């Protein structure tokens, strides 16, 4: 029976004094100098034997919260995790850090499974990873009974029957915990923020009420930009070209688009693959693995891609189509920059996206109440997209966290100026009314611009007083006006999917000229605005030119080592470590130990491989 399970909960238990210092373990074993916000509180609660439900956004460092207590406390920690690939990589990373870890799954080689079971028997195994299906399988409880000190559950929202990721086996975890040991402490982790899911987890997973720790939705290393679609392929390629050699994810709305855009990128000499639910299981796994392991690959994917992704050095996430909700958006951009280094995101959106989303909601089978909620969530998303205020501030306030302007989103960087668009708005409304509220954006713009198209001739629209009144403005400007009118609730789309516009009653005063209408000034700029330098470059640019060359050499070495050891590159060292080596230029082992992410095990294993690269760079023989 694990000792920690019997430890009194609370802060002044006897364990604190007898355990190794957590700060010291953080440095020597994990190679980190500081805890991230929230980590210390959770670590201390787990060491104190408390039940914890931790809500932390993706990439905020949840694994460390149970790994560090597992290393320090006596006994074996059982980690329930839904994804085999992720499990395998985590175990590999832990072993490299000198921590006894193993997994039991269908994918575990027999040799490894045997040594994990031996470690479990003699108590030397610190972490045992297992999928929920395996935990629920016959015979597993007998294997674990009395040998587990505490349980950590990853992706705990999978227990929610109303959620998208529901896994029935998650409902059996609590029962399994009872059978394995009496009143075992359980720590559950999730990135899903909404209070309903949170309550459901608390009820389904715990016997005692857990301590709920929710922390920061800020991601200081992520930059946000949002841009109307003009030519999405060109926009995405331009965005990627500013970040050469970076790994990234591009989200699209359909399988076909995923394949097409991936093709387009390859033709533009950008290494890219697609990923979607239309591929068979083996192919999907192969592509996901490739993305996980390879440096500098772009994956163009539908939302089917994501949950299993644990790649810390994803340098950008782009949305070529509008995301579904703010929650989905946050999850998806959260896959960038998990290593804490700067990463960029770009979201494209257009009228078609907005209309399609509205249609999906209206045509779903859901009860009216759910539909109403969905429409509200869509409005919140549109408000964020067209917002004249700081993006991060709006995003965090959506999750219930007040904050100051971030200084790193496109609005903060470029500043948003409002411009008066009363005249244009009235022209657009007039064109809409005079054509009978039966047409979509492009035809209305034809009328405004005075284009003699077939359709214009067929309906006799060239004779309207509105015909050609909008010549002063370009087509993209007019699209922007329609978008802003839509986001402001002045026009509404039909419910049958033909993409025609109706005027909302709210627009009457505007049409009559009684109230003004203002838009973000960039609506009037024909082309996209001046781009800020990519954040990734900004981090690397802390290095001088020689430092860059050293970084490249270190990266080449890392690739060689990773290939030889058959692990992803970041398992050897994350980018951040390489940058730190390139800055500190350590010439001996003790200097190497000060590098970010280098603990004792990695020092022993890798110092002699990487020190010569630095020495060669400095033109010196290696000092041992």
Q: Point out which residues bind ligand ADP (CB under 6 A).
A: 32, 34-36, 39, 56, 58-64, 310, 312, 338-340, 574
Q: What is the rounded CA–CA span in Å between residue 224 and residue 414?
A: 12
Binding-site size for Zn ion (CB under 5 A) equals 6
* Phi and psi, residue 510, nearest 5°: -65, -45
Query: For residues 406 and 449, which CB has a smaller minimum distance to Zn ion in the complex?
Result: 406
CB of 164 to ligand ADP, least distance (A): 18
Q: Alpha helix (H) ranges present in 165-254?
A: 173-180, 195-205, 232-241
Query: For residues 219 and 443, which CB has a smaller minimum distance to Zn ion in the complex?
Result: 219
- Could you tell me which residues come within 8 angstroms of residue 436 by beta carbon, excluding any fewer than 6 positions away? none
Stretch that binds Zn ion, among 27-35, 41-49, 404-412, 457-465 (CB under 5 A): 404-412
Mapped to the 3 state alphabet, what secondary structure does 76-122 carry? EEEEECCCHHHHHHHHHHHHHCCCCEEEECCCCCHHHHHHHHHHHHH
Stretch that binds Zn ion, among 115-123, 155-163, 392-400, 553-561 (CB under 5 A): 392-400
Query: For residues 168 and 415, which CB has a smaller minimum distance to Zn ion in the complex?
Result: 415
Q: Pick from 100, 101, 161: which is nearest to 130 by CA? A: 101
Q: Pick from 96, 575, 609: which is nearest to 295 by CA? A: 575
Which uninterrupted H or E stretch holds 314?
Answer: strand 314-319
Joined tokens for residue 512: 């009559």
At how many degrees (to 10) do helices 195-205 and 173-180 cross?
30
In the DSSP assignment, the letter for residue 401 is: -
Query: For residues 39 and 108, which CB has a smaller minimum distance to ligand ADP in the complex?
Result: 39
Tokens 């959260």 correspond to 334
Query: For residues 219 and 358, which CB has a smaller minimum distance to ligand ADP in the complex?
Result: 219
Contact code string over 406-435 relative to Zn ion, x by CB under 5 A: x--x--x-----------------------
CB of 340 to ligand ADP, least distance (A): 5
CB of 408 to Zn ion, least distance (A): 6
Query: For residues 384 and 561, which CB has a smaller minimum distance to Zn ion in the complex?
Result: 384
Strands 501-503 and 491-493, by their bridges, are: antiparallel
Query: For residues 328 and 416, which CB has a smaller minimum distance to Zn ion in the complex?
Result: 416
Chosen from ligand ADP, Zn ion, none, partner binding at 69 (C-beta under 5 to 8 Å by type): none
* 242 CA to centre of own chain: 20
Which uninterrupted H or E stretch holds 186?
Answer: strand 186-190
Chosen from Zn ion, ligand ADP, none, partner binding at 56 (C-beta under 5 to 8 Å by type): ligand ADP
Long-range (24+ apart) CB contacts under 8 A made by 570-574 are: 570/311, 570/312, 570/313, 570/339, 571/89, 571/92, 571/93, 571/96, 572/96, 572/606, 573/597, 573/602, 573/606, 573/610, 574/312, 574/313, 574/339
| Residue, CB closest to ligand ADP | 61
Q: What is the DSSP string of 345-393?
A: EEEEE-HHHHHHHHHHHHHS-S-HHHHHHHHHHHHHHHHHHT-SS-HHH
Stretch that binds Zn ion, among 338-346, 398-406, 433-441, 481-489 (CB under 5 A): 398-406
Query: For residues 299 and 336, which CB has a smaller minimum distance to ligand ADP in the complex?
Result: 336
Q: What is the rounded CA–CA span in Å between residue 377 and residue 358?
A: 11
Q: What is the rounded CA–CA span in Å between residue 469 and residue 138?
A: 75
Query: For residues 486 and 573, which CB has a smaller minimum distance to ligand ADP in the complex?
Result: 573
CB of 411 to Zn ion, least distance (A): 5
CB of 404 to ligand ADP, least distance (A): 24
Chosen from Zn ion, ligand ADP, none, partner binding at 120 (C-beta under 5 to 8 Å by type): none
CB of 224 to Zn ion, least distance (A): 7
CB of 412 to Zn ion, least distance (A): 3
* 28 CA to centre of own chain: 29
Chosen from ligand ADP, Zn ion, none, partner binding at 559 (C-beta under 5 to 8 Å by type): none
Chosen from Zn ion, ligand ADP, none, partner binding at 409 (C-beta under 5 to 8 Å by type): Zn ion
CB of 210 to ligand ADP, least distance (A): 18
Chosen from ligand ADP, Zn ion, none, partner binding at 329 (C-beta under 5 to 8 Å by type): none
CB of 405 to Zn ion, least distance (A): 5
Query: For residues 464 and 532, which CB has a smaller minimum distance to Zn ion in the complex?
Result: 532
Chosen from Zn ion, ligand ADP, none, partner binding at 32 (C-beta under 5 to 8 Å by type): ligand ADP
End-to-end CA distance of the chain: 45
Chosen from ligand ADP, Zn ion, none, partner binding at 412 (C-beta under 5 to 8 Å by type): Zn ion
575-584 in b/e form (b: 16+ CB < 10 A) is bbbbbbbbbe
Query: For residues 306 and 340, which CB has a smaller minimum distance to ligand ADP in the complex?
Result: 340
Are residues 381 and 325 in contact, defined by beta-carbon separation less than 8 angstroms?
Answer: yes
Tokens 């904050």 correspond to 403
Q: Is 390 near Zn ion (CB under 5 A)?
A: yes
Query: For residues 38 and 210, which CB has a smaller minimum distance to ligand ADP in the complex?
Result: 38
CB of 205 to ligand ADP, least distance (A): 18
Chosen from Zn ion, ligand ADP, none, partner binding at 406 (C-beta under 5 to 8 Å by type): Zn ion
Query: For residues 152 and 412, which CB has a smaller minimum distance to Zn ion in the complex?
Result: 412
Q: What is the rounded CA–CA span in Å between residue 610 and residue 616?
A: 10
Instruction: Give me the numbers of helices (H) and strands (E) for the chain, helices first please.
Output: 29, 17
Chosen from ligand ADP, Zn ion, none, partner binding at 338 (C-beta under 5 to 8 Å by type): ligand ADP
CB of 286 to ligand ADP, least distance (A): 22
CB of 24 to ligand ADP, least distance (A): 14
- Would you state the torsion angle of the CA atoms of residues 518, 519, 523, 524, taken in this order, to the nearest 10 degrees? 20
* Residues in a beta bridge with 281: none
CB of 517 to ligand ADP, least distance (A): 42
What does the binding site for Zn ion look like in residue numbers (CB under 5 A)? 390, 392, 405-406, 409, 412
């Amino acid at each position: 029976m694990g000792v920690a399970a019997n430890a009194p909960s609370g802060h002044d238990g006897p364990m604190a004094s007898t355990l190794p210092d957590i700060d010291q373990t953080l440095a020597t074993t994990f190679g980190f100098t500081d805890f991230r916000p929230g980590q210390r509180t959770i670590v201390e609660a787990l060491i104190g034997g408390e039940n914890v439900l931790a809500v932390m956004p993706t990439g905020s460092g949840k694994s460390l919260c149970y790994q560090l207590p597992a290393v320090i406390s006596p006994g074996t920690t059982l980690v329930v995790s839904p994804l085999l690939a992720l499990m395998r990589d985590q175990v590999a990373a832990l072993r490299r850090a000198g921590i006894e870890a193993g997994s039991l799954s269908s994918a575990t080689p027999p040799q490894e499974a045997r040594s994990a079971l031996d470690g479990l028997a003699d108590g030397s195994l610190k972490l045992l990873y297992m999928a929920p299906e395996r935990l629920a399988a016959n015979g597993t409880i007998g294997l674990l009974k009395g040998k587990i000190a505490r349980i950590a559950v990853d992706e705990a929202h999978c227990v929610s029957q109303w959620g998208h990721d529901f896994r029935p086996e998650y409902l059996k975890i609590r029962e399994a915990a009872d059978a394995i040991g009496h009143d075992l402490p359980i720590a559950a982790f999730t990135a899903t923020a909404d209070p309903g899911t949170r309550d459901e987890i608390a009820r389904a997973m715990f016997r005692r009420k857990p301590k709920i720790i929710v922390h920061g939705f800020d991601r200081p290393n992520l930059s946000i930009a949002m841009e109307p679609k003009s030519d999405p392929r060109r926009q995405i390629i331009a965005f990627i070209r500013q970040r050469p050699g970076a790994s990234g994810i591009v989200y699209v709305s359909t399988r076909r688009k995923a394949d097409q855009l991936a093709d387009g990128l390859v033709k533009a000499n950008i290494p890219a693959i697609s990923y979607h639910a239309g591929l068979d299981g083996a192919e999907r796994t192969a592509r996901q693995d490739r993305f996980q392991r390879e440096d500098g690959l772009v994956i163009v994917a539908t939302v089917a891609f994501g949950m299993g992704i644990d790649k810390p050095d994803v340098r950008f996430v782009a949305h070529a189509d509008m995301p579904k909700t703010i929650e989905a958006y946050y999850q998806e951009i959260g896959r960038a920059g998990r290593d804490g280094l700067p990463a960029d995101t770009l979201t494209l959106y257009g009228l078609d996206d907005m209309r399609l989303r509205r249609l999906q909601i209206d045509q779903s089978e859901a009860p009216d109440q759910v539909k109403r909620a969905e429409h509200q969530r869509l409005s919140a998303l549109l408000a964020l997209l067209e917002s004249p205020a700081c993006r991060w501030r709006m995003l965090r306030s959506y999750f219930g966290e007040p904050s100051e302007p971030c200084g790193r989103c496109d609005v903060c960087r470029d500043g948003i100026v409002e411009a008066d668009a009363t005249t244009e708005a009235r022209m657009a409304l007039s064109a809409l009314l005079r054509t009978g509220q039966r047409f979509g954006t492009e035809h209305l713009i034809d009328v405004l611009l005075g284009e003699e198209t077939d359709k214009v001739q067929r309906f006799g629209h060239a004779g309207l007083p509105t015909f050609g009144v909008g010549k002063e403005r370009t087509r993209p400007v007019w699209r922007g006006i329609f978008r802003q009118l839509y986001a402001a609730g002045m026009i509404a789309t039909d419910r049958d999917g033909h993409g025609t516009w109706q005027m909302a009653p709210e627009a009457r005063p505007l049409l009559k000229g009684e109230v003004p209408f203002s838009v973000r000034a960039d609506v009037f700029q024909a082309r996209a605005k001046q781009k800020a330098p990519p954040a990734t470059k900004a981090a690397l640019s802390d290095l001088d030119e020689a430092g860059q060359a050293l970084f490249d050499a270190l990266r080449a070495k890392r690739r060689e080592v990773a290939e030889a050891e058959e692990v992803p590159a970041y398992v050897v060292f994350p980018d951040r470590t390489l940058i730190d080596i390139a800055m500190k230029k350590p010439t001996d082992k003790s200097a190497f130990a000060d590098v970010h992410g280098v603990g004792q095990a990695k020092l022993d294993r890798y110092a002699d491989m990487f020190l010569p690269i630095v020495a060669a760079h400095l033109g010196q023989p290696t000092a041992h």
